[in-house]
Amino acid sequence: MNRRGRHITAFVVALGVMGAGAAGFSAAISKYRLHLRKLEIHPPGGRQLSQLPTRVPGWERQGGDQIEDADVLEVLGTDNYVSRVYVETDPKDPRKPFRIDVHAAYYTGMIDTVPHVPERCFVGGGLQQASSSRVMDLPLDTSLWQPDQSVPENLRGESGTLYTTRTLGYEYSDAPGTRVRLPRDVTPERPLPIRVSAFGESGKEQLFAGYFFIANGGVVANANDVRTLAFDLTSDYAYYLKIQVTSASPSSGEELVERSAELLDGLMAEVMRCSPDWVEVETGRYPEDNPRREQAND
């Protein structure tokens, strides 16, 4: 066989191998119901983060929400967001009430952006990170939490129990007393994680920031883990919701976490109303055109 013939043979063999590989890959995708393309999903009624209550026990919004211009929105990558300042309503020192800037943003579908986090954005904006980031426990009040026995065992997470909490009274919520599911693996024994950093020069007033992500029904405190959580190949949909708290009022990261937990005690149920109930998604009950609903009927 001449050289040209050998090249043609090698090309045909390579095509055959590629074809066989593609066929095997397609078969694996079909057999294991893997989903490489993620669908968009939104909370029931298209609830927006701007609908979070402006007042909860001990805290109220100061001023109006920050409205970003078109250029900032393009960088942010979503128009479902809220940026507002909460201030304590009964401070020990009326001249220096504790202030917490809350920023939340929701993303869904084929998420190809790297989450915006303080270690990147603040430093990129000229601030100096004063210490290494660390993950801490957010000490939320669990007195309203209850185990949800209706959740299928395979959706309860590693802890084996998925908890619900409820919204507050009518003076704080437009759906008072509504029970909502918390992220899986968040239990009284396993608190919600939050990643905390300090910014500014040592010895001078510092800015403290903390954040976590709720993604596809779970929670992480690391931007690099969001893709892993949101892009589970067995899920049809993908979303993540970033919650970030920032303040110059605390003297330490521990104080930021403690005071943020007080605020989030009143906001957490409402935050979960601004994201899809992942148990309903995975069982095919939500949304109406969920492919799993069709599979369950077949």
Provide the terminal-to-terminal Cα distance of the chain, rounded to the nearest Å. 55
Answer yes or no: is pLDDT of 229 > 50. yes
Residue 156 or residue 201, greater confidence = 156
pLDDT tier for residue 27 given thresholds of 50, 70 and 90: very low
Residue 287 preceded by cis peptide, ω within 30: yes
Answer yes or no: is pLDDT of 159 > 80. yes
pLDDT at 203: 61
Q: CA–CA separation, 246 vs 116, rounded Å?
A: 14
What string of DSSP letters covers 171-219? TT-SSTT-EEEPPTT--SSSPEEEEEEEES-TTS--EEEEEEEEETTEE
pLDDT at 35: 44
Summarize pLDDT for 75-87 with one digit per residue, the tens. Answer: 888 999 999 999 9
Other residues' Cβ atoms within 10 Å of the Cβ of residue 40? 13
Summarize pLDDT for 261-277 with one digit per residue, the tens. Answer: 999 999 999 999 999 99
Q: Of the given ranges (62-71, 246-255, 271-280), which has the lowest mean pLDDT?
A: 62-71
The verdict on pTM exceeding 0.95 is no
Torsion-angle region of 235 (φ positive above 0: left; ψ -120 to 50: alpha; else: beta): beta
Summarize pLDDT for 85-103 with one digit per residue, the tens. Answer: 999 999 999 999 999 999 9
Domain locations along the chain: 1-32, 44-297
Answer yes or no: is pLDDT of 219 > 70. yes
pLDDT at 126: 78
Q: Of the given ranges (12-16, 35-39, 236-240, 289-293), which has the lowest mean pLDDT?
A: 12-16
**Phi, psi (degrees; rounded to nearest 5) at 176:** -60, 140
3-state secondary structure of 222: coil
Mean pLDDT over 240-258 rounds to 96
